[in-house]
Amino acid sequence: MHGGETKYKNIRLVNFKSATKTCGSRQAAIMPFLAPDYTPYAEFSGLTFDNVHHEAMTYIADPPQSWANLSDCVEFTCTGMYNIVMHFEETSTVGSLTPFVPAKFTIISDNKESVSA
């Protein structure tokens, strides 16, 4: 059984001016590790985005197609990246790049492989 959570308090994330690095790769101030089976619930309290572009605030990657294999997850990719929850409280923004960010919000990743009846 999986469980656990991570709590981050009073962190300032500074100068993520673009969602793309000069080399062309993706960057974000908050970007969960690629985990095939499980990513713990994350709670952020007192987080400050300082000069962070709105597209570089958070990013949740799609799981690699190579995670779909018959010996583990059959034809579906393992769903760790589809089950991420990040909760934010007392959030603020400062600097020249100051997108509107509510003080309290939750981000839930999208399960793109869910089956509809």
Measured CA to CA, the distance from residue 72 to residue 82 in angstroms comes to 16
Can you give the three-state secondary structure of 71-96, one letter per residue? CCCCCCCCCHHHCCEEEEECCEEECC
| Contact between 39 and 33 (Cβ < 8 Å) | yes
Question: Which is more confidently placed, 13 or 20?
Answer: 13
pLDDT > 70? residue 109: yes
The pair of structure tokens assigned to 57 is 């605030």
- pTM score, two decimals? 0.80
Question: Which is more confidently placed, 25 or 11?
Answer: 11
